[in-house]
Amino acid sequence: MGKIAFLFSGQGAQYSGMGRELTKHSSSVAALFALADRIRPGTSAQCFSGSQEELTETKNTQPCLFCVDLAAALALEESGVRADGAAGFSLGEMAALTFAGMLEQKTGFSLVCRRAVLMDEAARQTDSAMAAVLKLEHKTVEELCRRFAHLYPVNYNCPGQLVVAGLRQEIEEMKPLVKKAGGRMVPLAVSGGFHSPFMDGAAKEFAKELEKVCFQPARIPVYANLTARPYAESEPKELLAQQMKNPVRWEQTLRRMAEDGFDTFIEVGPGKTLTGLVSKTLPDARAFHVEDAETLEITRKAVLES
């Protein structure tokens, strides 16, 4: 068997009740949520019983997802499944870096809280949104985006799936063009146009926050959204700030990980979005997800007993 990668979920996968079962399964998970509540009171309540509307607000989404992503990874590791490397989708990258030991839990969570506020504030300055364009080649979507003043290809998810960010009106105007080209558009449950120039101001402010942080060497390689290769020790501050306003090269990241010997990918966190992207990008790879006690046990057995 090849290497095992943990993949940390990003925004859009959140739902009310996420993470609740994992706190009962693991003392380290319970401690993580207790830490989050000390720093940001009400975090666990939002995860376990918050409304979908509440969880879709970026200032809430990111701290909650960070906790659930990291909780699933901790529970999986405690069950005996060890990661040889990691990657996280957008916000998930912060959880991946924390899991890999580059950030302490307290520091990672505090940074995510600040990141969430900055991105939420930036999103409120314009009526922007995101939508996934399906069934078209990336170059076709890129060409369509160039017809608009404020529409950008931002998340290269997998073959035939590229997310665009832009003014909500321009996204609406793009829909008939996508349909004419043979594709379709699906709106994302996020509150703004992330990974685009709309986030320039937020990225600059986050860079100031990162300057105050001391990053530690990673215990496992973490592949960066911006470069699709493992972080070097000198890179975290620059890459994490730039990541906020630049495309997530997820398809390229998965292909690079496969080239580096990874053949088992386990999504940690709510939903199965990344699991599906693995299957579409690397059809010969094994893909699992862990978000509760049931999926934890299924994945443990499949990985350790195969």
Residue partners of 270: CB distance under 8 A and separation at least 6: 9, 13, 14, 15, 18, 19, 65, 68, 291
Token representation of residue 18: 């996420």
109 and 218 in a single domain? The answer is yes
Domain finish residue from 187, 210, 230: 187
Which pLDDT does position 306 carry in this prediction? 72
Query: What single string gives the DSSP state of each residue in 139-152?
Result: HHHHHHHTTSTTEE
- Nearest Cα neighbor of 196 from 297, 126, 281 is 126
Which pLDDT does position 191 carry in this prediction? 83
Inter-residue contact 138 to 163 (CB < 8 Å): no
90 counts as catalytic: yes
222 and 279 in a single domain? The answer is yes
Distance CA 120, CA 46 (A): 17
Distance CA 236, CA 89 (A): 15
pLDDT in tens, the chain (306 residues): 689 999 999 988 899 999 999 998 889 999 999 999 999 999 999 999 999 999 989 999 999 999 999 999 999 999 999 999 999 999 999 999 999 999 999 999 999 999 999 999 999 999 999 999 999 999 999 999 999 999 999 999 999 999 999 999 999 999 999 999 999 999 988 889 999 999 999 999 999 999 999 999 999 999 999 999 999 876 889 999 999 999 999 999 999 999 999 999 999 999 999 999 999 999 999 999 999 999 999 999 999 987
Domain finish residue from 169, 187, 205: 187
CATH code: domain of residue 156: 3.30.70.250
User: Regarding beta strands 85-88 and 3-8, do their DSSP bridges make them parallel or antiparallel, or are they unpaired?
Assistant: parallel
Which pLDDT does position 165 carry in this prediction? 97
Count: domains in the chain:
2
Distance CA 10, CA 270 (A): 9
195 counts as catalytic: yes
Give, in order, the Cα–Cα distances in Å from 24 to each of 42, 44, 48, 99: 18, 13, 12, 20
Q: Which amino acid is at 25?
A: H
Which pLDDT does position 1 carry in this prediction? 67
Token representation of residue 136: 């078209």
Which pLDDT does position 235 carry in this prediction? 81
229 and 140 in a single domain? The answer is no
Distance CA 72, CA 237 (A): 25
Choose the catalytic residue: 9, 26, 44, 90.
90
Distance CA 60, CA 56 (A): 7
119 and 135 in a single domain? The answer is no
43 and 105 in a single domain? The answer is yes
44 and 95 in a single domain? The answer is yes
Which pLDDT does position 4 carry in this prediction? 98
31 and 118 in a single domain? The answer is yes
269 and 247 in a single domain? The answer is yes
13 and 112 in a single domain? The answer is yes
Host domain of residue 160:
130-187
Domain finish residue from 166, 187, 208: 187
- Nearest Cα neighbor of 121 from 42, 204, 192, 43 is 192
166 and 216 in a single domain? The answer is no
CATH code: domain of residue 94: 3.40.366.10
Phi, psi of 80 (to 5 degrees): 110, -5
Crossing angle of the two packed helices 105-124 and 200-210, in degrees rounded to 10 = 160
180 and 38 in a single domain? The answer is no
Distance CA 155, CA 248 (A): 5
Quick count: other Cβ atoms within 10 Å of Cβ 266? Answer: 27
User: Where does the chain have alpha helices with state H?
Assistant: 20-25, 27-39, 43-49, 52-56, 58-78, 92-99, 105-124, 138-145, 168-180, 200-210, 236-243, 250-259, 273-281, 293-304
Inter-residue contact 289 to 266 (CB < 8 Å): yes
166 and 224 in a single domain? The answer is no
DSSP state letter for 216: P
DSSP state letter for 269: S
Choose the catalytic residue: 9, 26, 191, 195.
195
